Chain A
Amino acid sequence: MRIRLQLLIALLGPWLLGAALANPYETTLDNGLRIIVKEDRRAPTAVQMVWYRIGGMDETDGSSGVAHVLEHMMFKGTPSVGPGEFSKRVAAAGGRDNAFTSRDYTAYFQQIPKEKLAEMMQLEADRMRHLNVDPKEFAQEIKVVMEERRMRTDDNPHAKLFEQMNAVAFMAHPYRRPIIGWMSDLEAMTAADARAWYDAWYVPNNAYVVISGDVDHNEVFALAKKYYGPLASRPLPQRRITAEPLQEGPRHITVKAPAELPMLVMGYKAPVLRDIDKDSDPYALQMLAAILDGHDAARFNKKLVREDKVALSAGVDYDTTARGPGMFYLSGTPSAGKTVADLEAALRAEIARVRQEGVSDAELKRAKAQLLASEVYKLDSVFGQAMEIGQIEAVGLSYRLLDRMREKLQAVSAAEVQAVAGKYFNDDTLTIGVLDPQPLDSKPHRPTLPTRH
């Protein structure tokens, strides 16, 4: 404990000391609901986030998208708060509210002047157990969700490529289904499906509340007991998550869509953190990602875009945490006169260069310096601090270990980065997705969806 604190002070400076000692604070109510409070007194505002441990990956075939549809329905009222009234009350309080659904979780938040926190807690507690899922409201809202799908995915070639690529990279694990849901599942969904989802998963013992901002944790704990305390807990249904079988050969997918430029995505199966202390490869992969794509002169941009001009853009995407399996994505758009194959060869060559020659101490030091500075910048946003806690908890890890994660990242060696470049980038676990751009002929490519009368 003492060593860790000293390291933190050395790394981040003495001003963090007060914050590091006790903050955040935590309590657990009798019904199993955890309350985590991060005090930050810089401005007279607060954010409340309610996180449910339920997301797209908990759905089953035929009902893809129900987690997200329920998120929409959560604004449709309870016996004591009418349809649309939730947003009206938040607005009247001078607040902003919204929600988001991921593969791993569903979360709701309000940003408010601090004196309105109690009212927001009362509202969230109310809809945690008392939601109305009215069939009439559902019939309108499912149309909105279909419009959302058209906007986000059907008319967005890059999103469509990622959607179909995931469906190929994961054959069995539920990550193969899109969070927004397949259109035919949305068309078939009923209010009863949404109701069943809510009844099964929206209970205090499947949720946690993160509150940050200009608040006193003891006062927040008392309010939590008052509003969330009376809600009954209930045993959760068993989760049956199909494990992804080992991938034993490369997979290819092509998506044709109206666009000017092709796009290439190469996704390799990669580990994520399960044990913050014992795992090491995810940290090395994160540093590799930073060395390849962490700043304007990182390897991809410097070599592929600026020097060789084989790509108009090139990037890396890798998350160290997830409930399900991980992927390390390389992606890019080839320059005019270069092909997708040229770009693929160039991306592979960059990974091979790390594998064969390693990375320099200067590159590694640079990536670590950026990480350290970003830890300070992160504190500028109360919302960002609550998000960080919520997200790490969502994958089953503790926010108390965030500092330990930072230490482990700072301790990654050049040899470890070189080792993961050799270990995870082989064709047996590779999925390649290509966007094949089609000319715009200005006519609809498909008939508009049949109406369901």
Chain B
Amino acid sequence: MIRPFFRLLTIFLVLLAALPAAAGVAIEHWTTAAGARVQFVASRGLPMLDIQVDFAAGSMFDPAGKSGLAALTHALLDLGAGSRDETAIAEELADIGAQLGGGVDTDRASVSLRTLSAPDKQAAAIDILRTALAQPRFEAAILEREKTRTIAGLKEAMTRPDSIAGKAFWAALYPDHPYGRQATPESVATLSRDDLAAFHARHYTAANASITLVGDLSRGEAEQIAEQIAASLPPGAAIPLPPAPAVGAGGTTAIAHPATQAHIHLGLPAIERGNPDFFPLLVGNYTLGGGGFVSRLMQEVREKRGYAYSVYSYFMPLKQAGPFQIGLQTKRSQAGEAIGLVLETLDRFLADGPSEAELAAAKANLSGSFPLRLDSNRKILDNVAVIGFYGLPFDYLDRYQERVKAVTAAEVKAAFARHVQPQALRIVTVAAD
């Protein structure tokens, strides 16, 4: 019975070393022999391991006319790979209590694995992960089935006001950039096995991979696992990006729909990951519409007038300039008044910037809440995977609070002036009277 107590003792020592109260997390990083980037955070408190592998394989890389290819390629990774069919993969994962997940956005295709760290279970889970990444079968019958399901889902989404509004917003902001292209029933119908295989061969490579590990591992074990994963991938080459999106002219798109509420989005392309204006925009946006109940938009739209349940604004930095977005839903008959109120609130913020009290409140929350961003393995994984994939500095988390605190009101105003021009705002409404 000595072992458990000894083990608990080491857990606490490791935790003290790894998680000082005010700083970030200790990220170890290296590159595998095959060229994949690796980030590792040891967290020995629980007998579990999270791995996420991110590839530059998001929807921005869909070839013209083949929108939906990135998402479908990702969806088929674990539906038959290597010697296992789709049933064997799902059953073997369940047998060891492991969970394989992930997703695709504009930039990234992510595959994540959560497993117990007991050696037999962990090894079996990682074997399935490696096979799914490197040897997906893309079986014809399964491809047809998943195309059918995807097309049905797209048609359903085309009836929902929130989906319609979201897609129209991106299309309006990025008319000449892949960020604005959407999968359609027609584009998905054209996708072939060859398309998937070619996309996979080009994008799911070591050069394009960022591997993040968080959990009950030593550095040596993490190195070994990362080598195994990377070695099973083809070396590949970095994928060139399309020309940066341009900010176009402003304007309004109004889409009719029978819903009781209008869905409203306003915005424009703003900043890419790593942009030096990120912290002034983050701090400023807290006051405008990022700070939940204490934001100006929430005060004006919800608290004072009861126009909406939810109203928000945010910057979404991406590989290339991602959107600044304001969103809300309101009774369709008052959509015009609500939009007027949002624009007035935005204009006043652009003109005056945050008050000293607002700036102090924004900094207090954003820096004070920092520990909440990192208080589970899952959250650490999410943050470190972003740092790895986008090539942010490895002291990003360590310096986060200090950089928030350093922002001045003048910097906020100048940064908003550079990235949010009211005359360039695109407004999209669905179901507004």
Contacts and interface: CB of A to CB of B under 8 A. Distances in A.
A91 B152 contact: no
Nearest to B19: A43
A236 interface: no
B214 to A, nearest CB: 10
A260 B152 contact: yes
Given A441-B258, A448-B331, A144 B302 contact: yes
Given A93-B364, A140-B306, 20 more contacts: A43-B19, A84-B293, A84-B299, A88-B361, A91-B292, A94-B372, A143-B307, A144-B302, A147-B331, A154-B259, A295-B90, A295-B93, A297-B94, A302-B90, A312-B153, A369-B96, A376-B46, A440-B258, A444-B431, A448-B333
Interface in A1-56: 13-15, 17-18, 41-45
Interface string B78-114: 1000000011011101111111000000000000001
B305 interface: yes
26 contacts: A15-B11, A15-B46, A17-B4, A42-B43, A42-B46, A84-B293, A88-B361, A92-B361, A92-B364, A94-B371, A113-B369, A144-B308, A147-B307, A147-B308, A296-B78, A306-B145, A376-B47, A376-B48, A377-B48, A381-B378, A382-B376, A440-B159, A444-B332, A444-B431, A448-B333, A449-B331
A309 interface: yes
Contacts of B368: 92-95, 113, 116
Interface string B155-181: 110110100000000000000000000
A382 to B, nearest CB: 6
Contacts of B45: 42
A382 B303 contact: no
A54 B367 CA distance: 36
B190 to A, nearest CB: 18
Interface of A: 13-15, 17-18, 41-45, 75, 84, 87-88, 91-96, 111-114, 116, 139-148, 150-151, 154-155, 213, 258-261, 294-298, 302, 305-306, 309, 312-313, 333, 335-336, 365-367, 369-370, 372-374, 376-377, 379-382, 437, 440-446, 448-449
A445 to B, nearest CB: 5
Nearest to B214: A380
A93 B94 CA distance: 41
Most buried by B among A75, A155, A333: A155
B370 interface: yes
A123 B190 CA distance: 58
Contacts of A448: 260, 331-333, 433
A230 B87 CA distance: 59
B45 to A, nearest CB: 5
Nearest to B87: A297
B418 interface: no
Interface in B240-285: 256-261
B218 interface: no
A44 B21 contact: yes
A87 B19 contact: no
A373 B261 contact: no
Contacts of B95: 365-366, 369
A261 B156 CA distance: 6
Q: Among B15, B256, B329, B368, which residue has the most Cβ atoms of chain A within 10 A?
A: B368
A382 B341 CA distance: 39
Chain A contact residues: helix, strand, loop or mixed: mixed
A373 B309 CA distance: 37
Contact of B304 (A111, A140, A295, A313): A140
B27 interface: no
Nearest to A437: B159
B74 to A, nearest CB: 15
B355 to A, nearest CB: 14
Nearest to B45: A42
Contacts of A380: 46, 48, 376-378
Interface of B: 3-5, 7-8, 11-12, 15, 19, 21, 43, 45-48, 78, 86-87, 89-91, 93-99, 114-116, 118, 145, 148-149, 152-153, 155-156, 158-159, 161, 256-261, 291-294, 299, 302-310, 329-333, 361, 364-365, 367-372, 374-378, 431, 433
A324 to B, nearest CB: 27
Contacts of A142: 306
B156 A260 contact: yes
A261 B152 contact: yes
A143 B155 CA distance: 32
Contacts of B257: 440, 442
A143 B333 CA distance: 14
A373 B116 contact: yes
A94 B365 contact: yes
Contacts of B256: 442-443
A11 to B, nearest CB: 12
Contacts of A111: 372
A91 B43 CA distance: 28
Nearest to B149: A312
B122 to A, nearest CB: 12
Which of A142, A148, A366, A380 neighbours the largest number of chain B CB atoms within 10 Å of its CB?
A380
Contacts of A145: 309
Nearest to A302: B87
Most B Cβ at <10 Å: residue of A87, A92, A151: A151
B376 A43 contact: yes
A376 B376 CA distance: 13
A366 B115 CA distance: 15
Given A94-B364, A259-B156, A440-B258, A18 B8 contact: yes
Contacts of B332: 444, 448
Nearest to A116: B368
A369 to B, nearest CB: 5
Q: Which of A91, A381, A441 has the most CB of B within 10 A?
A: A91
Contacts of A75: 293
A111 B116 CA distance: 27
B260 A155 contact: yes
A84 B152 CA distance: 44
Contacts of A379: 46
Contacts of B372: 45, 94-96, 111-113
Contacts of A302: 87, 90
A18 B15 contact: no
B260 A95 contact: no
A143 B337 CA distance: 15
A377 B214 CA distance: 13
Given A75-B293, A260-B155, A377-B48, A41 B309 contact: no
Q: Which 7 A-B pairs have the closest CB atoms?
A: A94-B368, A373-B97, A143-B306, A297-B90, A43-B375, A296-B90, A442-B256
Given A142-B306, A147-B308, A258 B377 contact: no
Contacts of A441: 258
The residue among B98, B159, B291, B361 with the most chain A CB atoms within 10 A of its own CB is B159
Contacts of A18: 4-5, 8
Contact of B310 (A17, A41, A151, A309): A151
Pick from B3, B114, B304, B306 the residue with the most CB of A within 10 Å. B306
A258 B305 CA distance: 30
Contact of A148 (B43, B152, B309): B309
